[in-house]
Amino acid sequence: MKRRILGLYSVLVYLFLYAPIFVLILFSFNRSKLNATWTGFTFDWYAKLLHDKPILEATGNTLLVALVSTAASTVIGTAAALAMHRFRFAGKRLMEALLYIPIVIPEIVMGVSLLALYVMLGMELGLPTIIIAHIAFSISFVTVTVRARLHGFNRYLEEAAMDLGADEWTTFRRVTFPLIVPGILSGALLALTLSLDDFVITFFTAGPGSTTLPLRIYSMLKLAVTPEVNALSTVLLGATLLLVTLSQRLQKKEL
């Protein structure tokens, strides 16, 4: 009896989480412009999506921002995690506390503060300001993820490699990096996902000609919710699932 109740509860939870996604995917193939009723099956909205110039430009901007910010935040976050894990220095506890601020503060607070900083520095809003903003909030997520991986790291492996004649760089490249690469990949994937779907911070730091996909989707929703939005969301969902699958396979190979 308890197993049946637990099974029913699990099914209801999964329906609550994933039923809206299934409905969104289903109505991306709806022939009608309205998402209220099903009138027939079609691929027209995906075809229109491929010929929508504003959408393609926004996609290019989003990918550029996401890739650059992910690469930069992964390098900086990994270096910060290694430094905090290995060394003791003045102000370490303060640095660890400050590390969590971008994670816990509301995005609107960070967006407004970054906008104020850019205005004070006289920076013109555009793709560079969006990239800097995304790097700023992604570093913390990467650092926390990599530090979690380092907690189970055996330092004796590094010492053994150096006893056998390897220098510090060789030890990092041949021993340390392969062991912590699952954490690095997880942090990079998290940073990439956060950058791709960020709206609030991007809204405050974007300028003319730097519209990203979240901003473009929001502008589409203000006019009319057509199945083209569903099609775009379905494509983004498929791309995300593909990235997660590739990340898991890479991690299994490393292990």
CATH architecture of 52-254: Orthogonal Bundle (1.10)
Residue 166 to residue 175: CA distance in whole angstroms? 10
The whole-model pTM stands at 0.83
Residue 120 to residue 144: CA distance in whole angstroms? 30
Q: In this predicted structure, what is the pLDDT of residue 74?
A: 95
Chunked in runs of 10, what are the mean pLDDT values of the chain (255 residues)?
Answer: 84 90 87 78 87 87 93 93 81 82 89 92 92 93 89 75 78 81 87 90 90 86 76 84 76 61
